[in-house]
């Protein structure tokens, strides 16, 4: 049976890519040789070769296309010595061949290729005009940290008390770098006055602790951004309460119902605290001056990883010494590193009937309090004294509000 649909997709792929190339190939002596017809035929060649002879015939056809493309490139009088069109002409038969097995995937990839071709001017303008040399270097550092170092680290428990997982510790470094870059990008787009609070709220759903560390590093680099950075750090604490509510709703709605007053109280206090600093006029450098700065500080990210590693060892030692006797102690120890995993653990006990929803309040608040202590340590250890003085009260007040509501409900329930 003739696969008309697949062949039609292959032809459409060539026409799509060729349409863009036809519009940009120019006129006169510098006119590029490959246009809409060439790309359509190249894509169809890949499809037909695959249908008739499989991989072997496709390889022969592809070799022919590469040879003709190379010859055309060598004879070209174009002063622009880029290889974009030539590479596209090699990709076209491959996509045509792919269309015989996975037409939807091939069509999607063809659309992506066409977009890349059409976005030449915006991409070049962004790289050459919008990005500074420091930002490009930071991008390379982030790529190495994420794509090279992180996959190579062992994903198992090592060190004292088997407390250190190098793979997870380095993930904190990656998160710190990503959050710093997010804050930098938001500042470039919105200015420090609004960019840092927005970035803080968004990044808080990833890691509020790392967000506070990133904001501390931001203030150390640019003290004038104090107000927006404190607002961003406080909003990351809001994200902690909101994310806990989402997770509890997923695991155990009854636990969320019991915890709702405390979560609302903590969120409101943190939001009001953030609003106070967000509305203050910022003397931070404007967006143009921020362009020359670095997106993040690798040294600060490594410092965060070192501090979290120390906390892991301490928490593991506490667990080893005290055992698993109490749910509250266990949740608090786990909350030093990740408050949400501790909350999920307690909520799962409620879901299975091993724990009442009311009894889950204390362990979850203990985990969040331990995590708040970790945030305070980050603010003090990685930031300036003035930043710590401003953000620590916000973290403490939000947790104090949650505990106060819990205490009032406990007394009220006993009456």
Q: What's the number of domains the chain is made of?
A: 2
Q: Using an 8 Å Cβ cutoff, are 382 and 392 in contact?
A: no
**What contacts 378, CB < 8 A, 6 or more positions away?**
209, 210, 212, 213, 216, 304, 307
What's the DSSP call for residue 100?
A: T
Report pLDDT for 63.
92
Report pLDDT for 292.
46
106 closest CA partner among 39, 45, 47: 47
Specify the pTM: 0.59
Report helix, strand or coil for 164: strand
Q: Note whether 164 and 305 are same-domain residues.
A: yes
Q: Is the dihedral of CA 241, 245, 248, 253 positive or negative?
A: positive
Q: Note whether 57 and 113 are same-domain residues.
A: yes
Last-in-domain residue among 72, 100, 126: 126
- Residue at token pair 């008390």: 161
239 closest CA partner among 212, 217, 258: 212
Last-in-domain residue among 126, 146, 170: 126
Q: Note whether 135 and 121 are same-domain residues.
A: no
- Residue at token pair 């380095």: 170
Q: Note whether 220 and 342 are same-domain residues.
A: yes
Q: Note whether 395 and 275 are same-domain residues.
A: yes
Q: Using an 8 Å Cβ cutoff, are 115 and 18 in contact?
A: no
Q: Which two tokens stand for residue 18?
A: 């060729």
Ramachandran region, residue 293 (left: φ > 0; alpha: ψ -120 to 50; beta: rest): beta
How far is the C-alpha of 193 from the C-alpha of 283, rounded, in Å?
9
**What contacts 183, CB < 8 A, 6 or more positions away?**
195, 196, 199, 200, 203, 214, 215, 218, 232
Burial of residue 173 (CB within 10 Å: 0-12, 13-18, 19+) is buried
Q: Using an 8 Å Cβ cutoff, are 62 and 47 in contact?
A: no
DSSP string, 284-315: ---HHHHTTS-S--HHHHHHHHHHHHHHHHHH
Report pLDDT for 393.
94
Q: Which two tokens stand for residue 381?
A: 């250890």
Report pLDDT for 96.
93
Q: Note whether 238 and 252 are same-domain residues.
A: yes
Size of the chain in residues: 415
Q: Using an 8 Å Cβ cutoff, are 241 and 267 in contact?
A: yes
Supply the range of the domain harboring residue 95: 4-126
Q: Note whether 98 and 180 are same-domain residues.
A: no
Q: Note whether 77 and 164 are same-domain residues.
A: no
Q: Note whether 8 and 74 are same-domain residues.
A: yes
Last-in-domain residue among 78, 106, 126: 126
Distances (CA, A) of 312 to 169, 205, 371: 10, 21, 12
What's the DSSP call for residue 222?
A: -
Q: Note whether 112 and 143 are same-domain residues.
A: no
Q: Note whether 120 and 175 are same-domain residues.
A: no
Distances (CA, A) of 198 to 183, 212, 273, 322: 8, 13, 15, 41
Query: pLDDT in tens for each of the 415 residues of the chain?
Result: 778 899 999 999 999 998 887 876 656 555 566 778 889 999 999 999 999 988 889 999 999 988 988 887 777 655 555 678 888 889 999 999 999 999 999 999 999 999 988 888 777 776 666 667 777 788 888 889 899 999 999 988 887 777 788 888 888 788 778 877 776 777 677 776 788 888 888 888 877 888 888 888 888 888 888 899 999 999 999 988 998 898 888 878 898 999 999 999 999 999 999 999 988 765 544 444 444 456 666 776 777 677 667 766 765 676 567 654 444 565 666 666 667 667 776 777 787 776 788 888 888 888 889 889 888 988 888 778 899 999 999 999 999 999 999 999 888 866 5
Q: Note whether 401 and 320 are same-domain residues.
A: yes
């Amino acid at each position: 049976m003739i696969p008309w649909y697949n062949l039609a997709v292959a032809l459409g792929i060539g026409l799509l890519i060729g349409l863009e190339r036809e519009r940009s190939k120019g006129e006169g002596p510098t006119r590029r040789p490959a246009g809409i017809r060439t790309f359509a035929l190249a894509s169809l060649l890949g499809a037909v070769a695959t249908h008739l002879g499989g991989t072997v015939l496709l390889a022969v056809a592809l070799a022919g296309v590469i040879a003709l493309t190379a010859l055309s490139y060598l004879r070209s009088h174009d002063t622009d010595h880029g290889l974009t069109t030539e590479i596209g002409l090699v990709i076209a038969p491959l996509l045509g061949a792919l269309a015989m097995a996975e037409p939807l995937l091939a069509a999607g990839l063809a659309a992506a290729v066409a977009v890349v071709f059409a976005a030449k001017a915006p991409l070049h303008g962004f790289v050459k005009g919008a990005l500074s040399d420091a930002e490009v270097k930071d991008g390379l550092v982030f790529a190495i940290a994420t794509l090279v170092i992180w996959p190579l680290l062992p994903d198992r428990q090592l060190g004292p008390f088997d407390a250190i997982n190098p793979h997870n510790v380095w993930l904190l470094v990656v998160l710190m770098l990503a959050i710093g870059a997010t804050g930098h990008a938001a500042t470039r787009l919105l200015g420090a006055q609004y960019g840092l609070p927005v970035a803080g709220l968004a990044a808080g759903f990833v890691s509020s602790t790392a967000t506070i560390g990133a904001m501390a590093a931001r203030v150390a680099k640019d003290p004038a951004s104090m107000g927006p950075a404190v607002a961003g750090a406080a909003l990351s604490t809001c994200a902690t309460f909101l994310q806990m509510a989402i997770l509890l709703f997923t695991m155990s709605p009854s636990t969320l119902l019991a915890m709702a007053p405390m979560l609302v109280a903590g969120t409101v206090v943190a939001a009001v605290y953030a609003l106070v600093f967000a509305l203050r006029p910022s003397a931070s450098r404007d967006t143009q001056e921020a362009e020359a700065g670095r997106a993040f500080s690798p040294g600060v990210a490594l410092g965060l990883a070192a501090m979290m590693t120390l906390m892991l060892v301490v928490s593991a030692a506490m667990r080893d010494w005290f055992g698993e006797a109490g749910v509250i102690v266990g949740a608090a120890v786990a909350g030093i590193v990740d408050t949400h995993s501790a909350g999920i653990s307690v909520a799962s006990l409620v879901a299975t009937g091993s724990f009442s929803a009311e009894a889950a309040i204390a362990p979850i608040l203990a985990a969040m309090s331990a995590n708040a202590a970790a945030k305070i340590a980050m603010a003090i250890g990685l930031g300036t004294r003035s930043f710590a003085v401003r953000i620590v009260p916000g973290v403490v007040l939000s947790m104090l509000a949650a505990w106060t509501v819990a205490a009032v409900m406990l007394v009220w329930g006993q009456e």
